[in-house]
Structure 1
């Protein structure tokens, strides 16, 4: 495998979107965001044809430039995706790479007074921008969303919250079953805060922002929990509520706010079960050795999807031998699977 970039059979446009939803966000993060739009082979040869669109969102700490990262003997996902269309393995589709980075590392693709209106940004600003500039089929049944980890979480909840915008989803090791993936880490975080920061998140944040990030082994864990709390349990004034106390025990009223946006529990509510039943396709997978037990979350979400009444022939579910990291090779099969299920709406 050559270590340099490959030539695309399709075309990747790099642009910037000016988001009304992100203007004045509480973190002061940019409201102008990079956006990449992949156009499949043949797009420029027939200016009458329209295409389904698949929106790709990233995990925690993800930003758009990371899609260009290369590791030895492997290709980055945009090249793998191009190969899927170039080979004819998948019917052509427009693929949109969305940036939703924040200065706390992520947004969970929700509207929150702690981070900003990232759900609105995605569903209103980004989708409208793409539909206005490219020959999409501007219909929810021709639009899918896919992601891994926090991106997989975003795919699940976005499809449930806005079934009028997205009609299909794929989640790779998406955050789900919060008691299993999040709660076990709270005692160790409480201990780190006690031993290094006198139990104060404010002290941690001041220290973190005053030095090179990642130079303490607890940095990412503490910041990740804070980012999730910023998305799940921020008050209207922007105050971020942490879901555990000084001893690592749950704070029930805060934890309930987290559980309210757990995809597994959301899927059991009538309005979200109805949204899931409206999906044309749902792909769910995870590695059997996932370090955050997101294979258990994937299984629980699959069970919730079945309980919601989604027919089995609309669902793909698989647990594969891997951990949480370096599973980009799982994305192209899901992309092809979604493309086939959206293909009847191209024209």
Structure 2
């Protein structure tokens, strides 16, 4: 395998999308965002043909151009996706690669006064723009969403909130069962705050911005705690409410309950009919996931089966949370087969 990129059989069109709903966001993050659209082989040869669309969303701290990062002896996912379609191993689809980064690392693809209106950005700005500019089949039954980690989280909750737009989802190690993937890290964060930052997140952010990111132990959990709080438990004025006292470590039940309300496992019963009508649900995670998201994946599957969803794909594979881009073509194929029009 060549250690550099080779020509694709399909092609990417890269845009800069100017969002109205992201203007004036609480973090003053850019409202002009990169947007990639992948057109499969043959798109230009059949001008009457319409395609299913599959949206790719990124994990926490992910930026759009990171999708093209390369690991040793491996193709990156854009190359793997192109190879899948070039070999005709899946029905061709239009793929849309969306950026919802924030200066806290991510948005969880929700509307929050602490970060911005990223759910609205995705659903009410990007989706109609894509349908207006590309030959999609503009219906929920032919539109899917996929991602890993926080992207997998977004893929789980977005169709529940907007069933008028989404007919399929794929989650690779998505954030779920919050007492396993978030709560277990709170003690480490509290120790780091105590020993290095006098119990203050403000001190952490001031120091974090003066050096290369993630060069000290504890950076990841502190950023994650604050980002999730900004997404799940910000007040209407944008004030971020943590689910614990950063000086004592005491859990604040009313704030923690606000987080739990966003847990996909707990959201399932409230959206049972929607989920039973989904055309495609794909769930996987590595058995040795560092954040116990394999436990969350299994809990999400169990919650779906409890409401009567039995037609889904579920697998726990031998792996961790890292280096699992080779799994993404599996979910892409699954979504493409179930969402593509028959003619």
**Normalised TM-score (structure 2):** 0.98
CA contact (8 A) 1:187 1:247 kept: no
Q: Give the equivalent residue in structure 1 for 2:254.
A: 253
C-alpha deviation, 1:278, in angstroms = 1.8
Distance 1:118 1:24 in 2: 13
Checking the alignment, whether the CA contact within 8 Å between 1:163 and 1:278 is kept in structure 2 is no
Does the 8 A contact of 1:14 with 1:36 survive in 2? yes
Contact 2:188 2:218 (C-alpha < 8 Å) held by counterparts: no
Task: Find the aligned partners of 2:274 and 2:251 in 1 and give their Cα distance.
Answer: 31
List aligned pairs for 1:1-347, cutoff 5 A.
Answer: 1-245=1-245, 246-269=247-270, 272-310=271-309, 312-313=310-311, 315-343=312-340, 345=341, 347=343
Instruction: Output one character per residue of 1:286-322: Cα deviation in whole Å (capped at 9) or x when no partner.
Output: 0000011101100000011111222x23x00000000
Deviation of 1:342 after TM superposition, in Å, equals 1.1
Give the Cα–Cα distance (whole angstroms) in 2 for the partners of residues 178 and 83 of structure 1: 36
| Closer, same or farther: CA 101–346 of 1 in aligned 2, 3 Å | farther
Aligned partners of 2:41 and 2:86 also within 8 Å = yes
Q: Distance in 2 between matches of 1:172 and 1:307?
A: 21
Shift of 1:224: 1.4
CA distance in 1 between partners of 2:180 and 2:159 (Å): 23
- The Cα shift of 1:126 comes to 0.8
- Asked if structure 2 preserves the Cα contact closer than 8 Å seen for 1:241 and 1:254, the reply is yes
Distance in 1, matches of 2:334 and 2:173, equals 17
SS of alignment partner, residue 38 of structure 2: strand
Rounded Cα–Cα distance in structure 1 between residues aligned with 2:249 and 2:150:
23
CA distance in 2, matches of 1:301, 1:230: 24
Alpha-carbon distance in structure 2 between the residues aligned to 1:76 and 1:107: 24
Q: Distance in 1 between matches of 2:266 and 2:250?
A: 21
Distance in 2, Cα, partners of 1:35 & 1:133: 13
Contact 2:167 2:339 in 1 (8 A): no
User: Over residues 186-208 of structure 1, what are the superposed CA-to-partner deviations in whole Å (9 max), with x where a residue is unaligned?
Assistant: 01101111111111111111111
TM-score (norm 1): 0.97
Check whether the contact 1:16–1:35 (CA below 8 A) recurs between aligned residues. yes
Q: Indicate if the aligned counterparts of 1:144 and 1:168 stay in contact, CA closer than 8 A.
A: yes
Cα RMSD between the aligned structures?
A: 1.0
Take 1:249 and 1:326, find their aligned partners in 2: how far apart are those partners?
35
Unaligned 5+ runs, structure 2: none
**Which segment drifts farther, 240-249 or 151-160?**
240-249
Unpaired runs of 5+ in structure 1?
none
Deviations 1:254-279 (A, max 9, x none): 1000000000000022xx11221121
| CA distance in 2 between partners of 1:288 and 1:214 (Å) | 25
Deviation per CA, 1:198-230, whole angstroms, max 9, x where unpaired? 111111111112332222122122111111110
Structure 1 stretches of 4+ with a deviation exceeding 6 A read none
Equivalent-residue separation in structure 2 for 1:328 and 1:71 (angstroms):
10
